[in-house]
């Protein structure tokens, strides 16, 4: 590596000046110097035209004394390495100058050419490193100012962390020690185990990139959502010794995402509710059509066939009787279909009587025995909620008739803590839990419950029957309906 060879000496003692100049020339270095009464002001004027690669400085001059002498020269030539010329009695002052930024010091009369040359080369390289480090620090400072993120530099062995000023976003006082213990202890308890595990895995393998999202506690007890990422530095044995990264506050984005998800969920519920209401409207229209048209047509057909029976023809009479039997059966089936489809009778009679009628009708078929209990005051149940309960019971009773082979069914409707609670259980064959997900009937029950912000669960196992549990929050329903 090559350097320029011009040095500059600021010294007020002629003897020390000449000795140093001779040693420099012997070592192959030329020297400019300031001897004019040894004044610092004269040296400053000379340095306006001289561009040395290194400066030798006596701290005690006629017009300047001590550390101030060094600081003055350093301010004028910040890019030039400075070597302090120390007397035997003021080495402590020279050390202070080194701590303030001087590259080295030499004790007058105690060095020769080899040491002098070594000191010059060392000082030049040290100054280069110092300037490079200062440039890096400047970039770090500029980067800190340009971002809203908290930048951190973690010394893994000492457990200390250097932060930029943006760490203040958490609200902690400057006096609080923000080491690695402070950092992990402020991670939300529900996130801490995950973060510790991920950090341990990072330290144990050879990865150099890390990123996690978690909640971080602020000084006022609230939490910010943080996206944290870092880069690991490792030694030759692949052991981590330093980690540098950023903590980005993503609270606003997380809250917005949650809001969007909530709004999406509410929209889906409104759509589902609207679909169910449309379905009920369609069922009512179909029911009225069957009742007002089909039943009247079949009733008229029955009257005509009755007239034919008067003819006393033996064959005609048999046919007419069979026709009457089939028509009356059709009328009865249509009546049942109408009863299933039309929901207006719930509005007229109330959900309790509608359920009781449904139970009586099925009990009359002797398929299985249904026991219905309730502690409900009819008036507190809004019509749409009552209709939903009725449809859920109807749906599950159909499921029981199709699949359960049950002999007893228990229906209980109650109010607990502003919740409308419906339980339907049977003593049938039950099912494996993973098999019940396939049923359309159960999907309908889930959809109806979800539409009114309710909860539904199923309990079953082979040979243990089946139970449906539904909860609908009454107060919330009133708000949604009104």
pLDDT in tens, 198-238: 998 988 888 889 999 999 999 999 999 999 999 999 988 88
Neighbour count for residue 412 (Cβ, 10 Å): 14
pLDDT at residue 291 in the model:
64
φ and ψ at 86, to 5 degrees?
-110, 145
Report DSSP state, residue 433: G
- Alpha-helical segments (H) within 167-309: 180-185, 189-204, 251-289, 295-308
CA angle, 47 then 50 then 51, to 5°: 105
Query: How far is Cα 480 from Cα 261, in angstroms, rounded to an integer?
Result: 19
Per-residue pLDDT tens digits for 116-171: 999 999 999 999 988 888 887 777 777 767 677 888 999 999 999 988 888 999 99
- The mean pLDDT value for 87-96 works out to 82
188 to each of 27, 413, 444, how far by Cα in Å?
Answer: 65, 41, 39
Query: How far is Cα 376 from Cα 439, in angstroms, rounded to an integer?
Result: 30
Residue 481 has pLDDT above 60, yes or no: no
Q: Give 345's pLDDT tier (boundaries 50, 70, 90).
A: low
Neighbour count for residue 388 (Cβ, 10 Å): 27
**Do the beta carbons of residue 66 and residue 40 sit within 8 Å?**
no
pLDDT at residue 191 in the model:
95
Query: How far is Cα 317 from Cα 326, in angstroms, rounded to an integer?
Result: 14
Report DSSP state, residue 464: S
Q: How many residues does the chain have?
A: 482
Q: Which two tokens stand for residue 64?
A: 């300047």
Dihedral (CA of 61, 62, 68, 72) sign: negative
416 to each of 82, 354, 364, 373, 419, how far by Cα in Å?
Answer: 85, 22, 32, 15, 5
N-terminal to C-terminal alpha carbon distance within the chain: 86
pLDDT at residue 308 in the model:
63
pLDDT at residue 315 in the model:
55
Report DSSP state, residue 310: G
Long-range contacts: 466-469, Cβ < 8 Å, 24+?
Answer: 466/399, 466/400, 466/404, 466/425, 466/426, 466/428, 466/430, 466/431, 466/436, 467/423, 467/424, 467/425, 467/426, 468/392, 468/396, 468/422, 468/423, 468/424, 468/425, 469/421, 469/422, 469/423
pLDDT at residue 431 in the model:
84
Look at residues 447, 436, 350 and name the one whose alpha carbon lies nearest to residue 390: 350
pTM: 0.44
Q: Give 480's pLDDT tier (boundaries 50, 70, 90).
A: very low
- Alpha-helical segments (H) within 309-376: 314-341, 344-349, 351-364
Per-residue pLDDT tens digits for 305-320: 665 656 655 556 665 6
113 to each of 27, 116, 117, 124, 266, how far by Cα in Å?
Answer: 6, 5, 6, 17, 86
**Do the beta carbons of residue 191 and residue 208 sit within 8 Å?**
no
**Do the beta carbons of residue 342 and residue 284 sit within 8 Å?**
yes
258 to each of 154, 228, 268, 406, how far by Cα in Å?
Answer: 33, 20, 15, 44
pLDDT at residue 410 in the model:
97
Residue 341 has pLDDT above 60, yes or no: no
Look at residues 4, 82, 95 and name the one whose alpha carbon lies nearest to residue 43: 82
Q: Give 184's pLDDT tier (boundaries 50, 70, 90).
A: very high
pLDDT at residue 1 in the model:
40
Please provide the average confidence, as pLDDT, over all residues in the chain: 83
Higher pLDDT, 283 or 353: 353
pLDDT at residue 214 in the model:
96
Higher pLDDT, 360 or 313: 360
pLDDT at residue 478 in the model:
47
Query: How far is Cα 5 from Cα 200, in angstroms, rounded to an integer?
Result: 53
Crossing angle (nearest 10°) for helices 251-289 and 383-399: 80
Share of the chain above pLDDT 90, in %: 35
Per-residue pLDDT tens digits for 237-254: 888 999 999 999 999 999
Lowest model confidence (mean pLDDT) among 312-316, 356-360, 381-385, 426-430: 312-316
Look at residues 79, 89, 57 and name the one whose alpha carbon lies nearest to residue 70: 57
Residue 187 has pLDDT above 80, yes or no: yes
Share of the chain above pLDDT 70, in %: 78
**Do the beta carbons of residue 152 and residue 170 sit within 8 Å?**
no
Higher pLDDT, 434 or 469: 469
DSSP for 410-427 reads EEEEEEETTEEEEEEEE-
- The mean pLDDT value for 176-202 works out to 92
Residue 182 has pLDDT above 90, yes or no: yes
């Amino acid at each position: 590596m090559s350097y320029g060879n011009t040095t500059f000496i600021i010294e007020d003692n002629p003897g020390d000046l000449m000795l140093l100049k001779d040693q420099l020339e012997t070592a192959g270095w030329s020297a400019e110097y300031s001897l004019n009464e040894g004044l610092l002001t004269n040296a400053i004027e000379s340095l306006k035209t001289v561009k040395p690669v290194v400066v030798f400085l006596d701290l005690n001059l006629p017009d300047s004394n001590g550390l101030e002498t060094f600081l003055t020269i350093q301010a004028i030539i910040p890019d030039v390495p400075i070597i302090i010329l120390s007397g035997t009695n003021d080495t402590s002052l020279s050390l202070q100058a080194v701590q303030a930024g001087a590259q080295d010091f030499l004790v007058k009369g105690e060095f020769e050419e080899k040491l002098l040359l070594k000191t010059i080369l060392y000082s030049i390289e040290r100054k280069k490193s110092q300037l490079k480090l200062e440039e890096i620090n400047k970039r770090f400072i500029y980067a800190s100012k340009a971002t809203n993120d908290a930048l951190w530099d973690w010394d893994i062995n000492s457990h200390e962390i250097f932060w930029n000023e943006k760490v203040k976003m958490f609200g902690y006082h400057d006096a609080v020690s923000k080491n690695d213990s402070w950092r992990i202890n402020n991670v939300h308890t529900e996130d801490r185990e995950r973060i510790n595990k991920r950090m341990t895995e990072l330290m144990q393998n050879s990865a150099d990139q890390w990123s996690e999202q978690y909640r971080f506690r602020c000084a006022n007890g609230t939490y910010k959502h943080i996206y944290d990422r870092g880069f690991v530095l490792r030694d030759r044995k692949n052991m981590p010794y330093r980690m540098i990264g950023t903590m980005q506050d993503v609270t606003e984005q997380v809250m917005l995402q949650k809001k969007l998800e909530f709004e999406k969920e509410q929209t889906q519920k409104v759509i589902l509710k609207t679909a169910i209401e449309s379905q009920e409207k369609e069922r009512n229209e179909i029911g009225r059509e069957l009742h007002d048209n089909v039943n009247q047509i079949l009733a008229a057909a029955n009257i005509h066939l009755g007239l034919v029976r008067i003819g006393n023809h033996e064959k005609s009479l048999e046919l007419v009787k069979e026709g009457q039997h089939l028509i009356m059966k059709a009328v009865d089936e249509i009546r049942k279909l109408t009863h299933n489809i039309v929901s207006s009778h719930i509005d007229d009679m109330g959900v309790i009587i509608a359920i009781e009628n449904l139970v009586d009708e099925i009990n009359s078929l002797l398929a299985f025995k249904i026991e219905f209990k309730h502690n409900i005051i009819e008036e507190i149940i809004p019509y749409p909620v009552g209709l939903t309960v009725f449809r859920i019971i109807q749906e599950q009773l159909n499921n029981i008739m199709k699949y359960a082979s049950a002999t007893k069914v228990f229906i209980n409707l109650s109010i607990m803590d502003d919740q409308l609670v419906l339980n339907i259980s049977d003593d049938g064959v039950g099912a494996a839990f993973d098999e019940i997900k396939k049923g359309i009937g159960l999907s309908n029950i889930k959809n109806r419950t979800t539409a009114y912000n309710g909860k539904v669960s199923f309990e079953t196992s082979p040979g243990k029957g089946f139970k449906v549990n539904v909860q609908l929050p009454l107060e919330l329903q009133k708000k949604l309906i009104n």
